[in-house]
């Protein structure tokens, strides 16, 4: 398993992918930062995986989000896809995504995980 980053445009198309070397981190990447800058006017969502959980934003995620929004001068939508679901931050509010976009399964596959479903 590995952490994976997806940059998604306003149409829901994945326009850039970065793959980490471990399940708990992804190395910084100049190409990722350049892709973000180049797509700054058409970014719909920035997503990454937490293949071993949690279904939450980490402290590193929080500082990265703040840096991205400060650098781009606008509020963005961020998501984390984990084995147990997907969480999204939009307009400063976090919510569990009930109806996941198609790219969420792509992100799980690229990360080497599957969606865990609860059983009674």
Mean of the pLDDT values across residues 40-48? 97
Contacts of 58 (CB under 8 A, 6+ apart): 50
**Alpha-carbon distance values, 80 to 38, 48, 104, 119, 120 (Å):** 22, 5, 9, 22, 25
Structure tokens at 69: 């929004």
Q: What was the pLDDT predicted at 34?
A: 95
pLDDT at 118 over 80: no
Q: Are 51 and 5 in contact (CB under 8 A)?
A: no
pTM over 0.85: yes
Exposed, middle or buried: residue 30 (CB in 10 Å: 0-12, 13-18, 19+)? Answer: exposed
Say if residue 43's pLDDT is above 90.
yes
Task: Judge whether 58 and 49 are in contact, CB under 8 Å.
Answer: no
**Per-residue pLDDT band at 117 (split at 50, 70, 90):** low
Q: Which residues pair with 43 in a beta bridge?
A: 9
């Amino acid at each position: 398993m590995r952490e994976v980053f997806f940059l998604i445009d306003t149409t829901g198309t994945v326009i850039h992918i970065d793959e980490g070397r471990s399940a708990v981190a992804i190395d910084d990447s100049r190409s990722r930062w350049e892709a973000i800058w180049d797509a700054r006017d058409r970014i719909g969502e920035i997503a990454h995986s937490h293949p071993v959980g949690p279904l939450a934003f980490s402290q590193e995620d929080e500082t990265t989000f703040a840096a991205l929004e400060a650098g781009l001068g606008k509020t963005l939508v961020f998501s984390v896809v984990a084995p147990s679901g997907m969480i999204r931050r939009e307009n400063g509010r976090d919510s569990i995504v009930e109806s996941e976009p198609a790219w969420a399964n792509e992100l799980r596959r690229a990360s080497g995980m599957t969606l865990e479903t609860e059983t009674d």
